[in-house]
Amino acid sequence: MILYGAPMPAPNPRRVRMFLVEKGIDLPETKIDMMKREHKSEEFRAKNSMGQIPTLELDDGTCISETVAICRYFEETNPSPPLFGTTAVEKALVDMWIRRIEFTVMTPVGNFWRHAHPRTAALLTQYKDFGESNRETYKGAQKWLNRELAGHEFVVGDSLTMADICLLSTVDFADWIGLPVEEEFENLVAWRARMKARPSADA
């Protein structure tokens, strides 16, 4: 199988790399040059019609895209250690938190990246006032996360899950584009430090 991705700071390919490290799966990433727009080529769109990475191509030619879907495939084929929960309740909570992180945390980060960052100015029409407004929205998301993480080592339950991976890749990317984690949010800061200490954080 072939895993197509891109190096840091791209957050979505990193999610899968982190997941593979936590699973102990050795699958080298085949780099796609986003600066050269290789992910938008006709050849790559034959694998992922949306022209996005990461994409996992199986030995039979089946292509799976979207980070959570790719990681679920590896969860099913390599169930230990479990990173999507084990009980019905745990699995539901992990799914809930992945959705919350993507909508509540990643959405303002993505809006800022698209509409206020100089690196994306050539790719679309930017509405900079709207982009900048997402700073405050993201800070609000941090405040909410800080409350939710009080007394918790991980986002869900007593062990690392895909929800932690999604959150770390998001806050690290946010920091890279100029949206740092506010020091006042001590629970979030401490959670991030614990996650950054894991080998998977270097993936």
The 10s digit of each residue's pLDDT in 4-63 is 999 888 999 999 999 999 999 999 999 999 889 899 999 999 999 999 999 999 999 999
The CATH number fitting domain 2-77, selected from 3.40.30.10, 3.40.190.10, 1.20.140.10, 3.40.640.10: 3.40.30.10
Q: Could you read off the pLDDT of 146-163 as tens digits, one per residue?
A: 999 999 999 999 999 999
User: 112 pLDDT exceeds 90?
Assistant: yes
Q: Where in the chain is the domain with CATH 1.20.1050.10?
A: 88-202
Average pLDDT, the chain: 96
**Strand 55-57 vs strand 29-31: parallel, antiparallel, or unpaired?**
unpaired
Label residue 122 by pLDDT band (50, 70, 90). Answer: confident
In this prediction the pTM is 0.95
CATH architecture of 88-202: Up-down Bundle (1.20)
Quote the percentage of the chain above a pLDDT of 90: 94
Domain with CATH 3.40.30.10 in the chain: 2-77
Residues 12 and 67 sit within 8 Å (Cβ to Cβ): yes
